[in-house]
Amino acid sequence: MSERTCLSVILAAGEGTRMKSATPKVLHKIAGLEMLGHVTRALDAAGAGDKALVVGHGAEAVSRAAEGFAPGAETFIQAERLGTGHAVLAARAAIARGYDDVLVTFGDTPLISLDALAALRAGLAAGADVVVMGFRTERPTGYGRLIADGDALVAIREEKDCSDEERRITFCNGGAMAIAGNSALELLDAIGNDNAKGEYYLTDVVEIAAGRGLTVRAIEADYESALGINNRAELAGAEAIWQNRRRRAVMLDGVTMIDPQTVYFSHDTVIGRDTVIEPNVFFGPGVTVGENVTIRASSHLEEARVDEGASVGPFARLRPGAEIMEGAKIGNFVEIKKTRVEPGAKVPHLSYVGDARVGAKANLGAGTITCNYDGFSKHFTDIEPGAFIGTNSALVAPLTIGAGAYVASGSVITESVPADALAFGRARQSNRAGLGKRLRDRLAAIKARRG
């Protein structure tokens, strides 16, 4: 299709009242990416050319969000909501530039597939003037039916207008449509609003084109490609479909998941082969995991990188800026934020490390805390290679723990420690003979008096 020019008109002006949200419908997310972003990604994968984004409700928010995933899209405002045909014509100026193909999609159909979009355009390339995306279902109630005469599509009939025979049709309207550019404006302008709602329906293009002797065809797509999202329950359903697709793809790419249904990916998660993911793991946006990594149960990762041979968890949290390098170990109940953990380093359990470097083969004992925030600014802790931090130590940034240095357990370290030094940052222990028993007896007497 690369020799054919294409304009993709994306309808994203709906209010989405059934979402019951201040957020415009098309900006609700699946796998961490706005529904509109999923649509534009599919269009890009299909080589569907320039984009015209038709917005209405929440226009500013939608346009601003689109800059992130569709930076070249041209925005058009549908000031009044007078139907889908009227919405497409909001992009008249773009359509009039003269593309070979005009592809109309909807911003609330996040699972539309590359294959469906490619088939729509292929129909135009084969000589059709209008191509409609359809899907088959054994439960067609509520969907518009595709009325065909042999290979030709002659009408899209809404269910309330169908005859009893037409209601038995299981080939239904999937929404997306491709129109030959040289006849697009003429057909769109011919749409009338002589209906109960007084609106201009894009679906009328089929009957108009067929009545003029033009070639109208339908292509068959999977049900998911036509799945429009109108409420939070449907949003969750689409999320489940997306996650199942992604889980299968990841496993087929060589990743082991012990309990796939409990693992959740984001739209941009990258997982290397021979990695093992245990149950109840959540990948937020921006995570890259290398090969031969183990992500243990109940861990949460976001905007983090885990390199080859490293292990994370169980019950670990990697926050934005965490870099876990080759062979490093992040253990149970450990939180890492904006920190580079270098090859072979270990943070085995019960620690918080933020705004820091943990040098190669350094070891942080249980309960190690970097005190990185003073209430106004964040400060850096540099733990150099081979350093050993004893259990239950607090490192008060900014400071450096030199290469090969030891920090004694239970220390509060407020000054840098030279390489190979041993640092104590705790009060001297004092034992008072018999005082423990006297204290215990006094407390017991007080408790007895209080009843």
CA distance 266 to 280: 14
CA distance 43 to 32: 18
Q: How far does CA 181 lie from the centroid of its chain?
A: 33
Count of positions (residues) in the chain: 451
For 173: left if phi > 0, alpha if psi spans -120 to 50, otherwise beta; the answer is: beta
* 391 Cβ contact partners less than 8 Å away, ≥ 6 residues apart: 365, 366, 367, 368, 409, 410
267 given a catalytic annotation: no
One-letter-per-residue 3-state SS of 196-255: CCCCCCCCHHHHHHHHCCCCEEEEECCHHHHCCCCCHHHHHHHHHHHHHHHHHHHHHCCC
Q: Which residues in 142-169 are b (16+ Cβ under 10 Å) and which e?
A: ebbbbbbeeeebbbbbeeeebeeeeeeb
- Which residues are 229's β-sheet partners? none
What DSSP letter does each residue of 401-418 carry, written as one string? E-TT-EE-TT-EE-S-B-
Catalytic residue among 86, 267, 349, 379: 349
Bond prior to 314 in cis (omega within 30° of 0): yes
CA distance 370 to 304: 19
- Say how many CA atoms lie within 13 Å of 125 toward its Cβ: 12
Of 329, 358, 360, nearest to 343 (Cα)?
A: 360
- Say how many CA atoms lie within 13 Å of 241 toward its Cβ: 19
Bond prior to 260 in cis (omega within 30° of 0): no
The four Cα atoms 368, 374, 378, 381 give a dihedral, to 10 degrees, of -40
From residue 77, how far is each of 16, 57, 203, 425 by CA, in Å?
Answer: 16, 9, 21, 65
Helix (H, G, I), strand (E, B) or coil at 61: helix
What DSSP letter does each residue of 306-321 carry, written as one string? E-TT-EE-SS-EE-TT
Give me the amino acid identity at 166.
E
Give the active site residues.
Answer: 349
